[in-house]
Amino acid sequence: MRAIRALSAAAAGAAIALTVAACTGSTTTIIEKTGAGGAGQSAGSSASPAAKPSPAGPVVTITPGNGAGRANPSAGITVTAAGGTLKNVAVSTTGNPVAGTYSAGHASWHSTWALNVSQSYTVTATAVSNGAGTSAGVTTTKTSTFRTLTPGTTFYTEIFEGYRQSYGVGMPIILTFSAPVQNKAAVERSIELQTSKPVIGAWYWDGNQTLDFRPRDYWPAHTVVSFTGHFDGVEAAPGVYGYHTLTQTFDIGDSVIAVASTTTHKTQVYLNGHLKYDWNISSGKPGDATPDGSYLTIEKENPVRMIGPGYNLLVPWSVRFTFSGDYYHDAYWSVGEQGFENVSHGCVNLAPANAETYYKLAVPGDPVTIRGSPRSGEWDNGWTEWFLSWPQYLKGSATGEAVVANASGSEFVNPSALPPDTAKSPLQTSAPENAIA
């Protein structure tokens, strides 16, 4: 039961304090300041007792403050409770829903992602005091209504992966930004991944406008990957803000891994961890050697027109793995040399039936490793993320941290806290510095 005790009518012009007494003896006090001090008593009347000061409640601070008209969206929302514990923080907006986390002990709260640009927000926060005696259980509620700035310059982001498309176990997530990014760590931290199977990986900047995510080891086969880039409100460079949230979902298919030796003139193709095919090949002849390295299939076409010194022909069952034009393909004209001699202009020549079989298995992102060549692979001649060892790849992140993802989401972690890597090449990961001939 609760009882309300009102002050005497003679003090009606003074500040009004409503004190609520609980059965347990603790008190909750709501302080409302309605004006300055009251009138004196009429002649002959007895003076009313002096009002006791109300117990102090926690001091709640909301940033951005009430009435702000050009709040920085990249800073998000911060709520603190001095002398108290936050019990509830609610954010109302017509923009993207705002999630946030409390600090240990609920002394503060901060939004998880940047706020939308050009958007209005109302934040209502309630805290209860940590005091003893009459100050115990005092609550304070505060509200802030504000609007974020409208940027003069914006950027947008594109993702290579297509919706519900299937990719190989080596496929990086490839992001392209419309403007150079200076605040690289902020952009990395605005990205959330969900993976149906646990994955450890990292982000890597290839210049200022391309950002890739690569797992530490190859993706587990048949993983579903969901990507959310909370770029709306992120300040990528001074005065340059994102204005959209980018989402995508794609699949990792079967593990299809090809390993070719330029010295044994053989290629092995592994399907989901098991040797499936062992074929004769002919790789690049002296002067046109197929470059060493762990590549990824990029695209395939049947046929592809290939033009070079002394030839111009349509080549069936062609699967590309470098931008400069190296393929696994049907070479019906070199079947007699396959398994014995290197005679191609840099491609991996296969017998027609074998080329067709590989073509039908391949999707973008399947690992292709070339070994034994006198020629080194060239960075960025294809998707060459797997040229790098894991420590080298980590150096490309602005945060210097790894990303641990699962079905619940992702978080950044110190690489030293990761479990040991037990993956073996070539079926689970690439060999370190594999592009060096």
Residue 94, domain CATH: 2.60.40.3780
Q: Is residue 103 in some structural domain? A: yes
Helix (H, G, I), strand (E, B) or coil at 354: helix
Per-residue model confidence (pLDDT) at position 164: 97
Q: How crowded is residue 70: how many other Cβ atoms within 10 Å of its Cβ? A: 11
pLDDT at 356: 98
Assess if residue 32 is contained within a domain: no
Do 185 and 97 fall into the same domain? no
The DSSP H or E segment spanning 352 is helix 352-361
**Residue 47, domain member (yes or no):** no
Same domain as 203, residue 65 = no
Token look-up 């998000």 returns 76
Tokens of 252: 């990792």
Q: For residues 82 and 59, is the Cβ–Cβ distance under 8 A?
A: yes
Q: Check whether residue 300 and residue 312 sit in a common domain.
A: yes
Final residue in a domain of this structure, among 147, 174, 207 = 147
- Whether residue 369 is found in the same domain as residue 336: yes
Is 3 a member of any domain? no
> pLDDT at position 135, please?
61
Task: Report the pLDDT value the prediction gives residue 131, as an integer from 0 to 100.
Answer: 66
Identify the domain boundary among 147, 175, 204.
147
If you average pLDDT over each of 11-20, 306-315, 392-401, which comes out highest?
Answer: 392-401
Which range of residues forms the domain containing residue 104?
Answer: 59-147
41 pLDDT higher than 50: no
230 domain-assigned: yes
Both 371 and 262 in a single domain? yes
Confidence of residue 433 (pLDDT cuts 50, 70, 90): confident
* Residues 6+ away with beta carbon under 8 Å from 211: 174, 175, 177, 181, 184, 187, 188, 203, 204, 205
* Contact assessment for residue 211 and residue 205, using Cβ atoms and an 8 Å cutoff: yes
Residue 58, preceding bond cis, omega within 30 degrees? Answer: no
Question: So what's the pLDDT on residue 130?
Answer: 85
Q: Mean pLDDT of all residues in the chain?
A: 88
Beta strands in 22-64 (DSSP E): 27-32, 59-63
Whichever domain contains 342, its CATH number is 2.40.440.10
pTM: 0.84
pLDDT digits (tens, 9 = 90+) for 195-222: 999 999 999 999 999 999 999 999 999 9
C-alpha of 390 from chain center: 18
Is residue 88 situated within a structural domain? yes
Report the domain count for the chain: 2
Q: Looking at the predicted structure, is the pLDDT value of residue 137 above 90?
A: no
In 10 A of CB 415, how many CB atoms? 15
CA angle 177, 383, 319 (to 5 degrees): 125
CA distance linking residue 353 with residue 49, whole number of Å = 103
- Which residues are paired to 84 by β-bridges? 129
Same domain, 143 and 180: no
* 206 plus 328 within the same structural domain: yes
A 10 A CB-CB count for 65 gives: 11
Name the nearest CA neighbour of 121 among 101, 102, 149. Answer: 149
Let me know whether 252 and 174 are in one domain: yes
| Residue 7 maps to a domain | no
Examine the domain organization and report whether 268 and 314 are in the same domain: yes
53 belongs to a structural domain:
no
Given pLDDT bands bounded at 50, 70 and 90, which one contains residue 311? confident
Query: What is the distance between the alpha carbons of residues 229 and 419, in angstroms, rounded to a whole number?
Result: 27
- Locate all alpha helices (DSSP H) within 85-198, ordered by sequence: 184-189
Predicted confidence (pLDDT) per residue in 322-366, tens digit: 999 999 999 999 999 999 999 999 999 999 999 999 999 999 999
284 secondary structure, DSSP code: B
The catalytic residue positions are 329, 347
**Given pLDDT bands bounded at 50, 70 and 90, which one contains residue 45?**
very low
249: pLDDT strictly greater than 90: yes
- Among 99, 124, 147, the domain-final residue is 147
CB neighbours of residue 372 within 10 Å: 15
Task: Indicate whether 420 and 380 sit together in one domain.
Answer: yes
| Cα separation, 284 vs 295, whole angstroms | 16
Three-class DSSP labels, 318-377: EEECCCCCCEEEECHHHCCCCCCCCCECCCEEECHHHHHHHHHHCCCCCEEEEECCCCCC
- For residue 216, give both structure tokens: 């530490």
> In terms of domains, do 302 and 196 share one?
yes
Looking at the fold, whether 331 and 194 belong to one and the same domain comes out as yes
pLDDT of residue 168: 98
